[in-house]
Structure 1
Amino acid sequence: MIVALYARYSSDNQRVESIVAQLRACREYCQKYGYTIIKEYADEAMTGTNDNRPQFQQMMRDAEAGMFEMIVAHKVDRIGRDEFDYYYNRHRLEACGVGLAFAAQGFDVSTPEGALMNNTLVGLAAYYSRNLAKEVQKGQRENALQGKTNGGKPLFGYKYAPDKTYLVDEHEAEGVRMIFDMYLQGAGYLEIASALNERGFRTRRGNKFGKNSLHELLRNRRYIGTVVWGHNTKMPNGKRNNHRPPHKDTLVIPDGCPAIIDKETFALVQEKMEQRRKHRGMCTARHTYLLTPLVFCAHCGAAMGGVAHRNQYGVLYRYYRCQRKTRMGTDICPNHSMRADVLEDLIIGQIRKLFLNPDAVEKLMASVDEQYRILKENDCKSLEGLKTKKAAVMKKINSYLEYIEEYGMPDRIAHQRYQGWISELEKLEAEISRREASVPAPLSRAVIRQYIDKYSNALASGSAGNIKNVIAAFVSKIKISRDEISVSFKFRVFGSCTDDGAVDGT
C-alpha cells in the first residue's frame, strides 16, 4: 500500500524535534505493516484548531489527485483539534478512497469499537483547545473594556501608548481624513490609493496602498471611537469571518478609543458605499478557472486571477489577468490578459502529449530515476554540511568541558555561550535525523502506469475538479508575459511551452 505521512506541532512548548519524533514513529508503523511511503508532510508551529495549514492542504490536494492510498499520522489530534474540520476532511479522504491510520493509537476506525475510540479522542482534543481559548478570551475581553490593545499592529492612523491604550498618530490621521474626504467627493479606490502613495503614506506592512487596502478602512468604526471586540470569533463551523453580523459574543464599546473621523462623515461614507454596492456590474456569476493558483505574471511576479467580461453582444469571455494590475491600476504592470479557454486547452494538451500516453512511461521513469538520484545527491551534500557543523559545535563543547575539568567553572557569559552550543547541537541532530529518513522510495513502472491510467480517466471525465487535480499533479508554475508562456512541469526532463503549443527541451 502506498501511504503518506503527516506530522504537526503547535507553538505551545513544542519544537522541531516533535516533528522528527512523530515521523520516526510513523515510519516504524509503516515498516511494521509493509507500507511504501511516497511523501511526508509537516506543518511546524501551526495550530490544529483549523485546517488552514499549508502542508495539510497540499496533502489533501495530493490525496484527491490519487497520489496515495492512506495517510499515517502519529495521533488523532495531529490531524486537527476541531471536530467539524476533522470529520469534514476525513469525509473528503473517504470520498477519494484514502484511509487514515494513527501510529501511536492502535485502533481500526473501520470497526465499531475503533470508531468509538476515534470519536472520543477527537472530542477530547477539541475540549482541550476550546477550554484554552476560553481562558485567553477572558483576558482579551477585559483589555477591550479598558481600551487596551490585544496585540498586533495598530490600525492605520493610530499608535500604542506605553500602557497599551490607543493614541492618534497625527501624521497618519491626516491620511485617514483624506481617504474619507476623497471618497465622499466621488473618488474611486485607485485614485485615493494613488494620492496616498504620492503623499508618502504606506500600509502597516510598508507597502503602497491599493484598492483592497481601503475598503476595510472605510468600514472600520474605530475611526469614530467605537471599539468592536469579538465580532470575528469562530462560528459553529470553526471558521472566522470579519464581515459577520453582530452576535452574542460581540462587544461594542462606544468612546473606547480616540476618534479621527466625526460620526456624520462616517455615516455619509457608509451610505455612499452601500449605494455603490447596489450599482455594481451585473456580471457576478462565478466561473471555473482550471489553472488558479498556478498562473503568474512574468513581468511583476504577481498571481494572475480569473476575470470575466461580456462584450456588446452579451458573449462571455474568461481571462487570466495580473492581480497586481487589477489592484493597483493599469500603469503598474504592462502585461496583457490571457484568454482562459486558450491557455487551459494548451496546458491540458501538453499534459496529454507529454505524460498521458503509453510512450511516456519510459520517459517518466527515466525522469523519476534522475530526480531520485539528484535528490539523494543533494541530501548527501546537505547532510555532510550539517554533520560538519555538528562536529564544529561538538569541538566547542568539548573544549569548554576540558576547561572546566582543569580550571573550574567559568563566568556567566561563557556558560551562556555553552548553553547556546547545546541548543544548536540539539537542532542540528534533529535536522540530521529528519534528513536521513526523508527520502521517499522510488516508484516502479507498474505504479507509474497505474497513475497514467488514473489521470487519463480523470481528464476524460470532464469534471472541473478532476481536471484541476490532474493539472496540479503535473504543473508547478505557469508564467505569462506579453509574448511568451512558460510552463514549469514537475518532471525536469521536459522543457517550457510557448504560446503556439511547442515544447522546448528533451
Structure 2
Amino acid sequence: MNYSTPSLRVALYARYSSDLQQQSSIEDQLRLCRAYAAREGWEVVAEFSDAATSGASLMRPGIKQLQGATEMGAFDVVLTEALDRLSRNQADIARLHQTLNFHDVQIVTLSEGAVNEMHIGLKGTMNAMLLKDLGEKTHRGLSGRILKGKSAGGISYGYRPDREVLGDGTLSTGDLRIEAGEADIIRRIFHDYAEGHSPREIAARLNRQNVPGPKRGQGCGNWNPSTINGNVKRGTGVLNNELYIGRRVWNRQHFIKDPATGKRQARMNPPEQWITVDVPELQIVDQDLWEAVKARQESVREALNPTGARNTRRRTEEARRPTYLLSGLLRCAECGASYTLINKTRYGCAASRNKGDAVCTNRTTIRRDAVEERVLSGLRHRLLTPELVEVYVAEYKSAYKEVTDTAGATRKAATTALAGIEKKIAGLMAAIEDGLYTPMMKEKLLDLEQRKLEQQQILEAAELAPTPPMTPEVAERFKTQVNNLTTTLNDPDLKTRSTEALRGLISSVRMEPDGSAPGGHRMLLEGDLAGILACGSAQMTKPPRFAGAWSETLVAGAGFEPATFRL
C-alpha cells in the first residue's frame, strides 16, 4: 500500500484512561492525528474515541464502532497516537491487527509509523508487561494507604470524603468522616435485624418511608434485601461491613477479567492476604450490637441448613439452568420487575415483595402451573389458524424439495466417485494377475477398499429420502405437533431440551393484574413463533440426513415473525 497516495481514506482513533488523563486528551490526540493526515494528503472520513476507558480490553464502544466500519470498507487506514491507544492487551491487539489486515486496512501511529507484525509482537509484549506492572504498583500503593489508615477507594454508605487544604494548596485524599443522618439509618438497621426483623421487612419499611438508599451507578437508591444482608464471606452488605465497628478490612478479593465477555469477576483471596487496620474514629455501631447481629445471622444459617453441610457457592458462570418453563421470563406490567416464585407454587412481583409498596403495589399472585398452561394453550390456539397451517405446508414442501435436491446431487457425486474407485481397484488387480505385485500395491488396495465402503455408505444414506407427502398429511402433522407441546414438555427424557428450545422463542410474558381475569392476571406474551413446532416433536436430537424429521429443519417464513398477543 502506498501511504503517500492522496486518495487514501483514514479513520482516527483516540482514547484516554480515567486514572491517567483527562477529557481534553481526546481532542489533543485527534488534533495531532488530523495534522498528520493533512501532511500526508489523506482524507479523514471517520473519528472514533473512548473516554475514561481502560485499554486492557476491546469491549469499548468506540473500538467496536471502528471494527464495524472496517467490515463495511469505510476506510483504508486507522491512524492513532500510539499502539497502546488501541489496546494494551497483547492478544487483543494481535487479533485487531489480524482483522484489519484481513479487510486490507493498515494501522499507522504517530509514534511507530506503519505498524507491522514486529510492532505487534514487541509492543504487545511491552504493553502486557506494563499492565501487569501497573497493577502491581497500584496494589502496592493502595496497601500502603490502607496501612496509614486511609481509604483505598470506594465510599461506604454512612461516610463522606473528608478533605483538607494542604500546605501546597492541594486537597488531601483518602480520609473519611461519618455522615450523621446515614449513620442513624445504619444503627437502625442493625437494631431491627437483631430484634428479629428480616432484611426484606427492613428494606420495605425504609422504602415506604422514602429513606434514600445507597446509590450504585445510575441506580435509584431504593433499598433491597441484598443491600442489607449482603454476603458474609465477602464482607458485603450493611450487616457485614466491618468499617461500621471501626475496622477496615482490605484485599478480601481480587478481580479477573473474563476474556469472552470482558467483564470482571470477583475471586476471594486467602485470609492471610487480607489487610486489617483499626480506624476507631469511623465506628458507627457498638461492638455488642455487632455481635448480636452476627449471632442471629449464624442462627439463621443453621436453621436453613440443619445438617451443617456447607457447599461452596458456585461461580456466576456455573449457575444452573432455569428450574421451570417460564423462570426469568415473567415481568410485572406495573413496575417492570421480575415475577418470581414467592413459595413453591405461586408467582408474584419481586419488587413488591422485596422492596415494599413504595416501589410497587402489585401484590397479586398466580399459580405457576396456571401460568404455564395458559401460555401453552395460547400458543396452541394461535398456531392452529388456517393461515399458519398454509405457511407450514408451504415451508414443509420447500424444505422437502431442498433436501431431495441435495440428495440427488449427493447420489450423483457418490456414484461418480464409486465408479472411479472401482476402476482403480480393477487396474491394480489386473497388475497383480500379471505378476507385477509390490508391497505398496497392497497398501494402496486397502485404502481404495476403505474409500469404496465410505462411498457406498453415502449412497445408501442418500437413498433414504422418503416419499413426497401429500398436503393433507402435512397439515395433520402440523396439528399433531402443536397439540403435543404440553406432552413433550412433561416427558422426562425430553423436558430439558424442549424447555430450553421453547424458552428461546419467548422474549417475555408481562403479567397485568386484573381481578376479572383467570388467576387475577391478563398476560401479554412477546416472542418469536419460529421453531416452536420442533418442541412438539418427539425427535429433539438432530435427525439423520434424510430420515424425515422435517419440522426440525424448518425455518421461519411469512407468518412466523416476532409476535405479541394477549392470553
Query: Structure 1 length normalisation: TM-score?
Result: 0.49
Which of the pair has more CA radius of gyration? 2
Query: Structure 2 length normalisation: TM-score?
Result: 0.45
